[in-house]
Amino acid sequence: MNEQYQHRARKRFGQNFLHDAGVIDRILRAIHAREGERLLEIGPGQGALTEGLLDSGAQLDVIELDKDLVPLLHQRFDNRGNFSLHQGDALKFDFNRLGASPRSLRVVGNLPYNISTPLIFHLLSNAALIRDMHFMLQKEVVERLAAGPGGGDWGRLSIMVQYHCRVEHLFNVGPGAFNPPPKVDSAIVRLVPHDTLPHPAKDARALERVVREAFNQRRKTLRNTLKALLPAAAIEAAQVDGSLRPEQLDLAAFVRLADQLADQPTAP
């Protein structure tokens, strides 16, 4: 690499660069990109994943926030006909700009941990464009994404993501695969937006509201935490036992509660 572009990792951009060739290869094999596909990489950094993604022959757009990495990325990849760079904040990026057809975009990223949850929510608001997503995240976050009801990991993140997507925890990655090494373990997750929602809510905002209220105080019963939103009769009409705690309810039960909320006169 050209000396001129030696880059020092920046903490405020969540920069932990992948350097383990075995891990990079395993991620690329899990994504399995093909010629003709549309890929979007969030936070390419110095290009650890970018190179293999371009080798697949797929059309790749990348969004990188750090202006100092832009010359390095141009230098490395501008000679490829399938590379487009957007400098900016992925949290503010309008994915419709890419002109991808519905359900075509394959999103990839070794994400900065501080933006991973808001970024996933931003992407889910564009779920109709997306075929699948592969992310490196903090392992605890992947465990929450993939959790089922009944345990401490089941919460707002699990429910809102599983409302839109099938979630697969693919494999874990230790700190040694990165430079500098993060203080936490990481994992690769695959999120695949459902073609048809398995439990469609009348109003997704009502679901968001019920779930947020219920998990604000996860030790309390639903009857208590949802008091301001739903009368006891509405909880009963949703066929939910109000003496339960939120972590005991599955997605379908939360959707029934949300539909009751959507039917309230002041909803949602």
Residue 34, strand partner residues = none
Residue 178, strand partner residues = 18
How many residues sit in the footprint of ligand SAM (CB under 6 A)?
23
Can you tell me which of 30, 70, 91, 170 binds ligand SAM, judged by CB under 6 A?
91
Of 179, 241, 129, 212, nearest in space to 18 by CA:
179
**How far apart (Å, rounded) are the C-alpha atoms in residues 189 and 172?**
9
Tokens representing 128?
């109709």
Shortest reach from residue 81's CB to ligand SAM, in Å: 21
Of 262, 250, 257, nearest in space to 213 by CA:
257
Can you tell me which of 13, 58, 127, 267 binds ligand SAM, judged by CB under 6 A?
13
Is position 45 an interface residue for ligand SAM (rule: CB under 6 A)?
A: yes
Is position 187 an interface residue for ligand SAM (rule: CB under 6 A)?
A: no
Q: Which amino acid is at 56?
A: S
Omega into 44 within 30° of 0, i.e. cis?
A: no
Shortest reach from residue 229's CB to ligand SAM, in Å: 33
The angle at the Cα of 247, spanning 242 to 251, to the nearest 5 degrees, equals 85
Comparison of 15 and 260: residue with beta carbon closer to ligand SAM: 15
Span from 110-118, 145-153, 192-200, 237-245 in contact with ligand SAM (CB under 6 A): 110-118
Is position 90 an interface residue for ligand SAM (rule: CB under 6 A)?
A: yes
**Contacts with ligand SAM, residue ranges (CB under 6 A):** 13-18, 42-45, 48-49, 63-66, 69, 89-91, 110, 112, 115
